[in-house]
Amino acid sequence: MIGTAYLRAYIPASQLGPLPPHRELDRMRLITQNDRFVWDEPLTDDAFYAMWEGKQYACPRNVQVRMIEGILAFANTYPMMPLLSEDERGEYNRELSRLRSESAYARGHILSSAWHVPLRWFSAFRASDRELYDGVRGKSIRYRTSAGDAIDRVHWAKNVLDGAGFAEQVVERVSDLERWIAEFSADTMIELDYAAVARTFPDAELVFDESADEVRTSLLALESGDFGGSRDAYEKVARRWASAQSSIYSN
């Protein structure tokens, strides 16, 4: 099974209708496909729940919404690939509009990344947001912060990269992350969860994994004009994730 990391937006549970909590099942038995999608989680309407700073939060899974958003985004990013006909594109857009009209929370509350954590995700967090936890399959790492703080941090990271003359594609990826977080209210809780990607590393390495702090150190050095210090900090975190990220290209 593909190890996947997640960036989740949890809204205060009191704002959400009564969605049942998600039950973790054996995903190897859930792999399903049709002519467009392959998925390994049930399509039922439920949510992840979490306690944070003494308050309960909920993250609706909205699997069908995420699937449609994903295929439309992919088709828009690669317009030369004959993935969708114009009729199919229109059909998916209408279905997405219908789902969104039925609920104010019918939007993608979850971003996923196969095999690795994209380094830009770390820009939303600080070292103090980090938590080492015991998951079903061993130790893992998660970061949690408010959407208000996450937006400010990602916006700053974007400006640092832009001011340093980084390529437009690099800056735009960070801008995309900022726009996604900005869809949610400031009291939303944003969680980066290594989840199954943590199995890439021995437990001892996870204990000393400070990726968010290293990304921030690199950006702070870049902002001050210390390009050597910025490179050193970036290379440290990039080396940690290089092997996991290479799995994308070998698959």
Q: What is the pLDDT of residue 251?
A: 45
| Between 39 and 18, the higher pLDDT residue | 18
Q: Is the pLDDT of residue 72 over 60?
A: yes
pLDDT in tens, 172-223: 999 999 999 999 999 999 999 999 899 989 998 999 999 999 999 999 999 9
Sketch the domain layout of the chain as residue ranges.
4-61+109-250
- % pLDDT > 90, the chain: 55
Q: What angle do CA 30, 114, 204 make, to 5 degrees?
A: 105
| Separation CA 147–CA 11 (nearest Å) | 10
Q: SS3 of 40, please?
A: coil
Q: What is the pLDDT of residue 226?
A: 97
| Separation CA 49–CA 64 (nearest Å) | 19
Q: What is the mean pLDDT of residues 88-106?
A: 78
CB burial string 190-200: b at 16+ within 10 A, e below: bbbbbbbbbbb
Q: What are the CA-CA distances from residue 28 to residues 31, 42, 136, 194 (Å)?
A: 6, 12, 15, 19
Q: What is the pLDDT of residue 1?
A: 58
pLDDT in tens, 133-142: 997 778 999 9
Beta strands in the chain (DSSP E): 4-12, 32-33, 38-39, 47-52, 55-60, 110-114, 130-135, 138-146, 189-193
Secondary structure element (H or E) that encloses residue 41, with its range:
none
Judge contact between 190 and 124, C-beta under 8 A. Answer: yes
Q: What is the pLDDT of residue 250?
A: 46
